[in-house]
Every structure is written in structure tokens, then in C-alpha cells.
Amino acid sequence: MPRLLLVDDDRFILRAIEKLLVAEGFFCQTAVTAEEARRALLGAPFDMVILDVSLPDQDGFALCRQIRTKHRMPILFLTARDDNADKVVGLELGADDYLTKPFAPRELVARIRAHLRRANEYSQSPEAPNQIRLGTLVVDVDRRDAFCNGEPAHLTEREFELLHLLARNRDKALATDWIFENVWGYDAEMGVKTLAVYVRRLRRKIEADPDEPRFLLTVRGFGYKLTAGEE
């Protein structure tokens, strides 16, 4: 049974979400403050965190950043803050998804299942070679990380999934929508912006100069491709 941590200071909404997800077969633990969420994360492991931005003791963005320093499970922001800038900030800080209130219950469940399915698929033993080498960049499937000149990039789960997909299709231009659907597992209105944020995050971790990328290249008007870089 997947274990979810639900973090929201609105107890009415929290109970409604918990009731919905428990009926769908999830185990849910709730927290109404950032401190409660941090204490919960010290206990049994969770498969996913659903997190509000507005919390009484600390905003959800800061909590997301803290979670990402120690945990790689998917994080979904579920919040009333619907400004596009907030969505980009949430994704930049390490979240995997951003859904605004009010939301359709079936969409929330579908997104959670998609994230958990992708995380589970990537946790299985790979049949492909365990390392993909692109010059000084090495994508290590067993360690679920990338290494640049021998140094680990410390990728999150979603960052690794994106880089692994591109690496398996090295030197091929991949369409933006196709990349998003294959990494996130569903189509979404925010797909293009979400992917762009993740590309920036990856470049900061694998490129010597993120503004002049050698490995992760933009194919203007189409998508992205991963190359071995220039020696």
C-alpha cells in the first residue's frame, strides 16, 4: 500500500483529501505544519508527499527545499496559489508537480498514481546496460545518478528519469510533449513549462556552464536532445 504524507493547514481540506485517497487504497499520514511534516519524515518512509504552499510556521517552498536535501520521493504541490511564477518556483525547488485548488478529485488521484507508477518503474532492476557514457558525463542506472568528471550530480528521482530518457535516445531530437508524457506519465497543461524548469535544473547539475550547454541541447521549436558534448 503506497504511503502518502499530506501537508495542509486547512484541516477541512486535509480530511477531505485523506478520505478520498484512503478510499483509493492509499495509506495517508497528515500534518498541518512544516514541523509536523519534518517529524513524520523522520519515521517510516513515504512514497510521496502532497504539500500546500501556505503553512503557518514555514512556507511550503522552504519545506520542499529541505525535503529535497534528504529524500527523493515525488513531491506534488496542492495549493490555492495559482500564479505561474509560484508554479515555476515550486518546480525549481524540487517538486515534481503542481496542482491548484479547487481541483478535480479524479485528476489528483490520476496524477498521484502516475508519479508512483513512474517511480516504481525506475526502481526495478534495469535490463539495459547499467551505465550510459556520453563523454565526461556518465548516467549510472544502478546508482540512479549522473557523474560529471567523476563527481556525482545528486539528481532527484524525476531529474534522473528525464536524463535517463534522453540518454537512452542520445543524439536524437525528442519532442517536448513526448518527453513530458514519457517521464511524468500523463499529459498536462503545464507540461512545457514544467519540462523547461527541469531542463534548467539538470543543466545546473551536469553542465560546466548552464548558459552554454554542451550535453543537454535545445532543439528550437521542437524539444531537446542529449549529446556526448564537445571534447
Q: Which of 123, 154, 169 is the last residue of a domain?
A: 123
E-only strand ranges, the chain: 3-7, 27-31, 48-51, 75-79, 97-100, 131-134, 137-140, 145-148, 151-152, 174-175, 216-219, 223-226
For position 44, what pLDDT does the model report?
78
Pick the closest to residue 111 from 182, 21, 185, 26 (CA basis).
185
126 confidence band (pLDDT: 50, 70, 90): very low
Assess whether pLDDT exceeds 80 at residue 127. Answer: no
Do 65 and 11 share a structural domain?
Answer: yes
pLDDT mean over 151-159? 91
Do 204 and 119 share a structural domain?
Answer: no
Pick the closest to residue 87 from 191, 163, 210 (CA basis).
191
Do 143 and 110 share a structural domain?
Answer: no
Tens-digit pLDDT profile for residues 74-125: 999 999 988 888 888 999 888 999 999 999 999 999 999 999 988 877 655 4
On whether the CB atoms of residues 39 and 66 are closer than 8 A, the answer is: no
Pick the closest to residue 95 from 115, 77, 120 (CA basis).
77
Do 112 and 34 share a structural domain?
Answer: yes
142 confidence band (pLDDT: 50, 70, 90): confident
pTM, 2 dp = 0.68
Do 25 and 80 share a structural domain?
Answer: yes
Tens-digit pLDDT profile for residues 201-227: 999 999 999 999 999 999 999 999 999
The CATH number that applies at residue 31 is 3.40.50.2300
The CATH number that applies at residue 161 is 1.10.10.10
